[in-house]
Amino acid sequence: MKKSTYSCFALLLLFILSACSTSQTTETYHDAEHMPRASITNVFLDLQEKSGWWVVPEEATSLTIHVEAKNTDTVLFWLVPTGTEAWGERTLMGYDQDASDGWSLRWDFGDRKLHNRIYVQALGIDGVSMDSQSINVTADVPE
């Protein structure tokens, strides 16, 4: 009886120790290193572009940002003031986690007069990589 109790205990201990093995973790990390990295190929708005700036018509109260990205899980959309050292003053406009209809965000900005950067971040499906691009947006100034 004692021998069978020790055998059961030894088998249980062996099972527990095999579950604690780090080989599974190492394989998962190794696979993550070889996953394709997030990549943004294009960012554009539903507006006209003029001299490197996307121009918001005077009567507009919303815009849609479109992103073409690969190997992406989530896209973040930030509004950043123009100028240097302005990253700390950014605000999150929104995010998209559903690539089935393309990566995009419709943003209702109301009567705000824009002269900002829109900074787009693509977070990778590997949980590690990230890519980003920014575009300039400004209010239309009547001539």
Domains plus CATH for the chain? 2-32 (no CATH), 36-139 (2.60.40.10)
Q: What is the pLDDT of residue 32?
A: 56
Assess contact for 77 and 65: CB atoms under 8 A: yes
User: What CA–CA distance (Å, rounded) separates 1 from 91?
Assistant: 69
- The pairing of strands 115-124 and 72-81 is antiparallel
Q: What pLDDT digit, counting tens, does each position of 9-39 carry?
A: 554 544 454 444 443 433 344 555 677 999 9
Assess contact for 136 and 82: CB atoms under 8 A: yes
Its pTM stands at 0.74
Q: What pLDDT digit, counting tens, does each position of 53-68 carry?
A: 999 999 999 999 999 9
